[in-house]
């Protein structure tokens, strides 16, 4: 989970610069204030959600712990990838 947290933190810092090429009249999602805030905070909050899911699954039965940890990783990585796709596609 720590590695996905590092990627989320670095991604949030780098994805904001995807809006540098926007003109004043540009209507792409990354060029809006909400779009920039979304790609900046999205990886962080997805990482937080992934950690909460993984920690909550530690209270489950031993057979279900692995599934909960895997879901936590998936949520964290999915949030990173969604914001990355928005930043790259504009």
Residue pLDDT, tens place only, 53-78: 988 998 888 878 889 889 988 998 89
Residue 3 CA to residue 6 CA, distance in Å, equals: 5
Measured at the CA of 61, the angle between CA 74 and CA 43, to 5 degrees, comes to 20
This prediction's pTM: 0.79
Measured at the CA of 12, the angle between CA 10 and CA 14, to 5 degrees, comes to 70
When comparing pLDDT for 7 and 89, which is higher?
89
Furthest-apart CA pair in the chain: how many Å?
55
Residue 66 CA to residue 56 CA, distance in Å, equals: 12
């Amino acid at each position: 989970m720590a590695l996905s947290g590092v990627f989320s933190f670095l991604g949030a810092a780098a994805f904001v610069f995807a809006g540098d090429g926007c003109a004043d009249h540009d209507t792409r999602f990354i060029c809006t204030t909400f779009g920039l805030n979304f790609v900046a905070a999205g990886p962080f909050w997805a990482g937080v959600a992934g950690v909460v899911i993984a920690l909550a699954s530690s209270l489950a039965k031993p057979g279900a712990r692995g599934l909960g940890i895997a879901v936590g990783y998936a949520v964290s990585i999915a949030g990173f990838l969604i914001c990355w796709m928005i930043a790259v596609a504009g």
